[in-house]
Structure 1
Amino acid sequence: MSHIQKLLFLVVLFSSSVAYGQLTEDPEDRRDQGKDPLKTQTVDGQPLPFGQRLRFGGGINGFRFGNPFSLGVSPVIGYQATERLIVGVGGTYNYTRYKAPYYNPTTYNQFGGRGFLMYEFIPSILPNLYLHGEIENTTIQIKQDGYGSIPNQSLTSPLVGLTYSQPISRRFGVNLTALYNLNYNDNAGLAQSIYGSPLVIRLSFF
């Protein structure tokens, strides 16, 4: 092989390596170009695999010491469907215990699930601000010491509002959500037991 042929071979090999690197380049590398990372595709427009669009996380809610004691967890799985749309599902569990002497000893077990949509509607003006809508179904189980369990009660609630997400990486962020419960007035007694207010505030991570 002549020197010219060797040189051409090295040029072709180098060019192929660069092209492959661009094809598989992580969207985070766009930060070096002064651009936001792409959420659903590589820098050359190839769609990201399903697994790289998933976002996992959740939050801790309703945390109180003393009387009553309360602690809740809310795991979440989100999927980046488009550059501006996130769809997801989540679960909720909240434990509350009232103790004597100020209350009749009572235990509340609250559990359920929800599906949600988040749409980034004005990214050119205020990026990372999402319209947020969800349907949540919650069941509450109440047990009073000495009286046994009260029959379970369930409530399905449509909630609408806004979420502001502060990205930490392409697949993880800190989310502050403010929602209004459209079903609150129609189910005042049960809704008050579950939510306490038509306004629902959450801090989550996903």
Structure 2
Amino acid sequence: MSKNKKYAGILLFVLLAWIFSPSVGYGQERKRDHDKERQEKEESNRKFFFGGNFALMIGTITNIEISPLVGYHITTRLSAGTGITYAYYKERFTGFNTYESHIYGGRIFGSWLAIKNLKELIGLPGNGGIIGYTEYEALNMDDNYKTTLINTGDKQREWFHNVYVGGGYRQPLGRNASFNIMVLWNLNQSPKLPYDNPTIRVGFYF
């Protein structure tokens, strides 16, 4: 092989390497950017959570309550969200007509994971933690609830504004899901409200 052919071969190799190397590098860079965007999207989606509470009581008192919610993890400990509430309430009294009502409204809430893992802190079994909780709730319901206790046909509806404070136990159920049980005190002491004070609330989140 002559020197000219040898140099020409080297030159061709260098030229091809120069042409294709940026393309390969660009392709790898695009893949890295795509993977990064996908990871950021997955992390952003994990910040949102859904869930709610469901209550069912059938007997002399019938209470069916559905309360879905959506929330956002602001930090690993702090969360906030909003939800809606619907409840059907029916109660039968001796000597009185049956009382029946539909209750609906909305709420906003904040939750703070005070202790992430009780097992690490004090050696308790499981990996649950302690949460603090506060909530503002607006409920629309009959203003004669627990006063007349009968269906008179002339009910008037009213908005009741409730502020709950309290806390409870949070048990993780996998990567994103959890089970919460809380004890909440309502700072609104109106005798017209249908709930006990304090109230126990159980919910699932995912």
TM interval, short-chain normalised = 0.5 to 0.7
Q: Identical aligned pairs, as a percentage? A: 24
1:179 and 2:184 equivalent?
Answer: yes
Q: Does 1:57 align with 2:51?
A: yes
The answer to whether the 8 Å contact 2:128/2:172 transfers is no
Q: 1:110 to 1:129 in 2, by over 3 A?
A: same
Determine if the alignment matches structure 1 residue 113 to structure 2 residue 112.
no
Q: Any residues of structure 2 matched to 1:1-206 within 5 Å, and which?
A: 23=36, 48-49=43-44, 51-61=45-55, 63-99=56-92, 103-123=96-116, 125=121, 128-141=129-142, 144-145=150-151, 147-184=152-189, 187=190, 189-190=191-192, 193-196=193-196, 198-206=197-205
Shift of 1:76: 1.1
Q: Secondary structure at the match of 1:171?
A: coil
Q: Tell me the C-alpha RMSD between the 2 structures.
A: 3.5
* Contact 2:96 2:150 (C-alpha < 8 Å) held by counterparts: no
Partner secondary structure for residue 83 of structure 1 = coil
SS, match of residue 46 in structure 2 = helix
Separation in 2, partners of 1:58, 1:117: 14
Partner AA of 2:194 in structure 1: I
Three-state SS of the structure 1 residue aligned to 2:76 is: coil
Q: 1:11-63 deviations in whole A, cap 9, x for unaligned?
A: x9xx98x978985797xxxxxxxxxxxxxxx7xxx9822x33111111212x2
Aligned equivalents of 1:149, 1:106: Cα separation in 2? 13
Contact 1:70 1:96 (C-alpha < 8 Å) held by counterparts: yes
Contact 1:53/1:171 (<8 A) preserved:
no
**CA shift for structure 1 position 165:** 1.7
1:79 Cα deviation after fit: 0.8
* Distance of 1:24 and 1:48 partners within structure 2: 10
Uncovered stretches (5+) of structure 2, i.e. residues with no partner: 1-12, 18-24, 122-126
How many aligned positions are there? 179
Distance 1:180 1:116, change over 3 A: same
Say which one has the larger Rg: 2
Q: Would the aligned equivalents of 1:70 and 1:95 in 2 still touch at CA under 8 Å?
A: yes
Structure 1 unmatched runs, 5+: 6-11, 27-41
1:62-109, Cα deviation, whole Å (9 max, x unpaired): x22122222111111111111111101111111112347554122121
SS in 2 for 1:48: helix
> Which residue number in structure 2 is paired with residue 9 of structure 1?
none
State how far apart, in whole Å, the 1-side matches of 2:203 and 2:116 are. Answer: 21
Structure 2 CA distance for aligned equivalents of residues 69 and 183 of structure 1: 23
TM-score (norm 1): 0.68
